[in-house]
Amino acid sequence: ETGVTQSPTHLIKTRGQQVTLRCSSQSGHNTVSWYQQALGQGPQFIFQYYREEENGRGNFPPRFSGLQFPNYSSELNVNALELDDSALYLCASNHRDYKGYEQFFGPGTRLTVL
Amino acid sequence: EDQVTQSPEALRLQEGESSSLNCSYTVSGLRGLFWYRQDPGKGPEFLFTLYSAGEEKEKERLKATLTKKESFLHITAPKPEDSATYLCAGSNSGYALNFGKGTSLLVTP
């Protein structure tokens, strides 16, 4: 069974630029969620995708957007980067139709905005 | 407002010294209470899900319990390899996990 993978591992951008982060779900999972984790904080929910549509969204502005593809892989796009966007971005997957709601996380992408 | 609070923020234990981590939550319509372990620079690793008050789950030296207002993660005879940040999360939506800030655990030999 393949776990959740994310790319790239690290990324450095400058303020105002745009960034795309990628995620491959664990095999057999049909739902992907994205979280932002600032240093010393717990992860914060950005949004979730199910059947290629946004299924729920946390308190993040529209410049955070995403996509889910037919093979259940996903992208997180952030436009007009701000210094506060520097964080570990985590992707998590699960199978929505099972009883359990637990999500399984990838290793994350460390984004630094200068 | 839904909230998850973990205590203590940091805990230092000697190897073999048992203790408990606390997670108090105010999540209306809780659908699940989750525990994760996170090593530095890595993604959270799933440990347990608890669905109803009175439920308990165990894995090796860890035992998680749930009441109507809080959850405990009991660590029995910890080893240095148990050193990590332990995260607690609640969910009332079934899709968004609402995390606490975590408890940083250090177990010394």
Cβ-based neighbour number of residue A75 at 10 Å: 17
Nearest residue, CB atoms, A104 vs list B46, B96, B100: B46
**B46·A44 Cβ contact <8 A:** no
Which residues in chain A show pLDDT less than 50?
none
- Cα gap B85→B8, rounded to integer Å: 11
Distance from CA of A61 to the nearest CA of B (A): 17
Q: What pLDDT score does A101 carry? A: 75
- How far is CA A96 from each of CA A35, A50, A76, A102, B103, rounded to the nearest angstrom? 17, 8, 20, 10, 29
Which 3 state secondary structure label does DSSP give B33? strand
**A42·B49 Cβ contact <8 A:** no
Report percent pLDDT > 70 for chain B: 100
Under the banding of pLDDT at 50, 70 and 90, the label for residue B30 is confident
Q: Which helix or strand (DSSP H or E) is residue A57 part of?
A: strand A53-57
Q: What pLDDT score does B2 carry? A: 78
Query: Which chain B residues are Cβ-neighbours of A50 within 8 angstroms?
Result: 95
Q: What pLDDT score does B7 carry? A: 97
Please give the mean pLDDT across all residues of chain B: 94
Task: Fill in the amino acid letter for A56.
Answer: G
Distance from CA of A14 to the nearest CA of B (A): 22
> Could you read off the pLDDT of B50-77 as tens digits, one per residue?
999 999 999 999 999 999 999 999 999 9
Q: What pLDDT score does A99 carry? A: 57
Task: Fill in the amino acid letter for B46.
Answer: F
Mean pLDDT of B74-91: 97
**Cβ atoms of B78 and B63 closer than 8 Å:** no
- Cα gap A12→B99, rounded to integer Å: 26
Residue B94, pLDDT > 80, answer: no
Residue to test with chain B: of A1, A24, A101, A112, most B Cβ within 10 A? A101
B2 contact partners, CB below 8 Å, separation of at least 6: B25, B26, B27, B28, B90, B92, B98
Q: Which helix or strand (DSSP H or E) is residue A44 part of?
A: strand A44-50
**A110·B41 Cβ contact <8 A:** yes
Q: What pLDDT score does A72 carry? A: 84
Q: What pLDDT score does A66 carry? A: 96
